[in-house]
Amino acid sequence: VEVVARCFDVEEENAKKVEGDNVFFTALPGYQGPKGLIINLVSIMKTVVKVSFDNKSIVILRLPATIPSLVGFIRLVSNKPYAVELVGDPKDAYSPDSLKHPLSKVFQSLFYHGTKVLCKYASACAYVTEKTLQKKYPGKFMYSFTSLCLHESSFSKKSRLYSTPLLKPKIIMVA
pLDDT tens figures, 41-77: 999 999 989 888 888 888 999 999 999 999 999 999 9
pLDDT tens for the 175 residues of the chain, in order: 888 888 888 888 887 777 788 888 888 888 998 999 999 999 999 998 988 888 888 899 999 999 999 999 999 999 999 999 999 999 999 999 998 899 999 999 999 999 999 999 999 999 999 899 999 999 999 999 877 777 777 777 877 776 777 666 555 444 3
**pLDDT score at 171:** 52
Structure letter (DSSP) for residue 27: E
Residue 116: closest CA among 81, 89, 79: 89
d(CA 131, CA 30): 34
**pLDDT score at 166:** 64
> Residue 117 burial (CB < 10 Å; 0-12/13-18/19+)?
middle
Q: Are 60 and 84 in contact (CB under 8 A)?
A: yes
**pLDDT score at 14:** 80
**pLDDT score at 174:** 43
In the chain, the amino acid numbered 67 is I
Structure letter (DSSP) for residue 62: E
How many helices, marked H, and strands, marked E, lie in the chain?
6, 6
